[in-house]
Amino acid sequence: MTQTFRAFQLVGIGKIVDPILRNILALAMGGKLNVLGSVTLTPNSATTTLNDDLIDDSSALFFSPRTANAAAGLTALYYNNPTAGSVVLNHANNAQADRTYDYMCIG
């Protein structure tokens, strides 16, 4: 697949004139990345499908529990082989409906 990238006007020694790119870079350098999401595990099931356009086969996912039940189940949460746009999360099968995690998708 051929990727195309937007060309930016440079002035002087590497100074970027484009205000959109300048803002994006300033936010990224300040730690504001568009890589976060939230997921609640499916009750009475051992798997939950997480759909996110940022996920692909080279993604790494990191989870942070938002509830006590999510914290208790964190050691049993894992995933195998993400694909383009989704990943199947494996977890304990129980009736708890409040196992909510924030996640970060990198890569």
Residue 62's beta-bridge partner residues? 104
* Tokens describing residue 39: 């997921």
Q: Which tens digits make up the pLDDT trace of 29-88?
A: 776 677 899 999 999 999 999 999 999 999 999 999 999 999 999 999 999 999 999 999
Which run of H or E residues covers position 23?
helix 19-29
**pLDDT of 66:** 97
- Which of 13-17, 29-33, 94-98 ranks highest by mean pLDDT? 94-98
Residue 79's beta-bridge partner residues? 89
* pLDDT reading at 1 higher than 70: no
Longest CA–CA span in the chain (Å) reads 62
**pLDDT of 41:** 97
For residue 66, the SS3 value is coil
Residue 92 near residue 43, CB atoms below 8 Å: no
Query: Nearest-CA neighbor of 76 among 53, 104, 51, 101?
Result: 101
Identify the residue with better confidence: 3 or 36.
Answer: 36
Residue 38 near residue 100, CB atoms below 8 Å: yes
Size of the chain, expressed as the number of residues it contains: 107
Give the range among 17-26, 33-42, 75-84, 89-98 with minimum mean pLDDT. 17-26
